[in-house]
Amino acid sequence: MRTTQVTDGVFRLSANVDNILFEGMWPIPNGIAMNSYVVKGEKAAIIDGVCTWEGVPEELFEQLDQMKVKLEDIDYVIINHMEPDHSGWLEPFSALRGDENFEILCTQRAVPLLESFYGITKNIRPVKSGDTLDLGDGRVLAFEEIPNVHWPETMATYDTKSKTLFPCDAFGSFGAVSDDAPYDDQLDEGQIDFFEREASRYFADIVAAFSMPTKKAIDKVESLPVDIIAPGHGIVWRKNPQKIVDDYKRYASYSKGPAKPEVTVIWGSMYGNTEQGVQPVVEGLESEGVKVHVHEVPETDAGFVLQSVWESSGVVLGMPTYEYKMFPAMAAVVDEIGKKKAFNRKAFSFGSYGWSGGAQKELQEIVERNKMKWDFLEPLEFMGKPTEDEKELLKQRGKELAVKVKEWCNA
Ligand SMILES: Cc1cc2nc3c(=O)[nH]c(=O)nc-3n(C[C@H](O)[C@H](O)[C@H](O)COP(=O)(O)O)c2cc1C
Ligand SMILES: [Fe+2]
Ligand SMILES: [Fe+2]
C-alpha cells in the first residue's frame, strides 16, 4: 500500500482485499480496492477510511507521513457512508490519535449509526446538501446528500478547488488496483475494459437495487463541474470521468430496460432432463443472431448471474420441479434478481417434472412478489425428458424470444 497524489493537495490511500466474499456473499475473484483520500488546505481532512476484513491496515497510518500529514494534524474526518468497509477504521483511528481534537462530518442520518456501530457521540458535525467546510488555502469542501447510494445516510463530498468528487460507493468497481497505476490516465484500453467489467458486476451486485437513487445522484453530479472522480472502490478517473458517469447511467437504465440486445439463459437440473431443453432454446435464440449467455446454477454464483441478467434484455429460465416447487437454486437466484429490480425483461421458462409440476407456479409467485413485470412467452413444462416435438417447440420459443428482444431494443 502506497500513497499517491491524485492532484495538488489531494492524496489517495488504498488497500486491496481478496479472499473474502464481499458483503459476506459476493465472490470477488479479482479483489477490490478500498480507497481513502486526504485533502489538504491549511487544515487536513480524511475522507472515508481504508478498512479491510482483517481490520485496518497498520500502514494506513504510516502512509500519512508520505503526505506530510501527521495523524494528529487531521482536523476533520468525513464519513460519506457508514457501511463498515468505509467507516470501520474510525475506532482504531480514534485509539491511535488518543485525543478528541478532530471533528466527524456526516449526514444527520449517520449520527445514530455512529453511536450504534462505534459508540461515538461526540465531536460530530452533521451536514446537509449545500453545506461547506473551509480547509483554508482556498480549499472548500462541499457536501451533497445522495441518499440510498448505497445506504440512506450516504453523501458525496466535492472539493471545489480541484473539482474532485468523492462519491464513495457511486462510480465504484470491483477489481484490485495497482498502486503503480491507480488512475485512468495510466491505464491502457484493455485495463479500462477490465474495470468496466468489474464496475458492471459491482453495480449489479451492490448498487442495482438503488438504480433510481443512483440516477438522481448522477443528475446532481452532472450539475457540478467535475474534473476528477475519486470513488471509494476502484480506479480514480482523472482523464475521462465522464466515462464512468456514462457507464453508471447506462447500468441504472438497465433496471427498467431495455438493456443490451442479449439473452441470459439460467438453468438448473438434478438428473439432466431440464438440461436437455437448454441447447434447443439456445439454438433458437442464436438463429436470430442475438448474443446468449448460459449459466448453470448453483454452479455459477448468483453474483455473476446477476451481472449477466442486468445487462440482458431477455432471460430464459430452465428449472425442474422439486418437492412441488421450483428447483431451490433457481428459485433463490430468480428471487435475488427480483430484489435487485431487474424489471420488464422479455422472458421464457421451461422445465421438467415427474408427476405434479409446481416449478412454474412458484415462478409466478416470485415474479409477482417482486413486482418484476416480466413479459413471458407461454411456458413449456414437460414430463421427464423432452420429446423431439418439445425440443422443436423450445427452439421455436427461443427464436420468438430473440425477436421480441430485438424489437424492444430497437424500439
Ligand atoms: C428431490 C426431488 C423432488 C421432486 N419433487 C417433485 C414434485 O414435487 N413434483 C413433480 O412433479 N416432480 C418432482 N420430482 C421429479 C422431477 O421434477 C423430475 O424427475 C424431473 O424430470 C427432473 O428434472 P431434471 O432432471 O432436470 O432435474 C422430484 C424429483 C426429485 C429428485
Ligand atoms: Fe456501501
Ligand atoms: Fe463500499
- Across the chain, which has 411 residues, the per-10-residue mean pLDDT values are 90 90 96 95 92 66 77 93 91 84 96 96 96 98 95 97 97 96 98 98 98 95 95 98 97 98 98 98 98 98 98 98 98 98 98 98 98 98 98 98 98 91
| In 106-171, alpha helices (H) | 111-118
> Domain range for residue 289?
262-406
Shortest-distance Cα residue to atom 1 of ligand 1: 322
Given 202, 232, 253, the domain boundary residue is: 253
Residue 122, amino acid:
K
Q: Which of 321, 356, 362 to mutate to test the pocket of ligand 1 (most atoms within 8 A of CB)?
A: 321
The reply to whether 93 falls in a domain is: yes
- In a shared domain, residues 249 and 299: no
Instruction: Name the residue type at position 102.
Output: F
The bridge status of strand 291-296 relative to strand 260-267 is: parallel
If asked whether residues 175 and 66 sit together in one domain, one would say yes
**pLDDT at res. 96:** 81
Buried b (16+ CB within 10 A) or exposed e, 297-329: beebbbbbbbbbbbbbbbbbbbbbbbeebbbeb
**Test site for ligand 1: of 267, 297, 322, most ligand atoms within 8 A of the Cβ:** 322
Helix then strand count (H, E) for the chain reads 12, 22
For ligand 1, what atom is nearest to the CA of residue 356?
A: 11
- Tally of residues, the chain: 411
d(CA 343, CA 256): 5
Does 276 sit in the ligand 1 pocket, CB within 6 Å? no
> What ligand 1 atom has the least distance to the C-alpha of 327?
27
pLDDT in tens, 186-237: 999 999 999 999 999 999 999 999 999 999 999 988 999 999 999 999 999 9
Give 86 Cα–ligand 3 centroid separation in angstroms.
6
Residue 144 CA, distance from chain mean position: 20
**Residue in the structure block whose three cell numbers are 493537495:** 9
Q: Are residues 336 and 361 in the same domain?
A: yes
pLDDT computed for residue 56 by the predictor: 65
Please identify, by atom number, the ligand 1 atom nearest to the C-alpha of residue 321: 17
Q: For residues 206 and 337, what is the distance between their CA atoms, to the nearest angstrom?
A: 12
Domain boundary among the residues 253, 287, 315 is at: 253
Nearest ligand, CA 168: 3
Residue 64 lies in a domain: yes
pLDDT recorded at residue 53: 62
Ligand 1 near 353 CB (within 6 A): yes
Cell matching residue 48: 472515508
Measure the CA–CA gap between 331 and 319, rounded to whole angstroms.
Answer: 9
CATH number at residue 285: 3.40.50.360
Q: Both 227 and 288 in a single domain?
A: no
Tell whether 239 and 267 lie within a shared domain: no
Burial class (CB in 10 A: 0-12, 13-18, 19+), 69: middle
267 close to 319: Cβ distance less than 8 angstroms? yes
Residue 141 domain-assigned? yes
Which residue has the CA at smallest separation from atom 17 of ligand 1?
353
Q: What pLDDT score was predicted for residue 54?
A: 66
Q: Are residues 277 and 244 in the same domain?
A: no
Question: Would you say residue 411 lies in a domain?
Answer: no
Total tally of structural domains belonging to the chain: 2
**What is the model's pLDDT at position 19?**
87
Domain's final residue, options 253, 270, 303: 253
Answer yes or no: is the C-beta of 324 below 6 A from any ligand 1 atom. yes
Residues 45 and 79 both lie in one domain: yes
Q: Whose CA is nearest to atom 12 of ligand 1?
A: 354
Give the Å distances, CA to CA, from 172 to 157, 196, 231.
Answer: 15, 10, 5
243 and 269 in a common domain? no
pLDDT (0 to 100) of residue 52: 66
Same domain membership, residue 249 and residue 290: no
Q: Is the CB of 107 under 6 A from ligand 1?
A: no
State the CATH number of the domain containing residue 64: 3.60.15.10
For 99, other C-beta atoms within 10 Å of its C-beta total 8
pLDDT at residue number 99? 85
The pLDDT value recorded for residue 158 is: 98
295 and 239 inside one domain? no
Shared domain for 190 and 306, answered yes or no, is: no
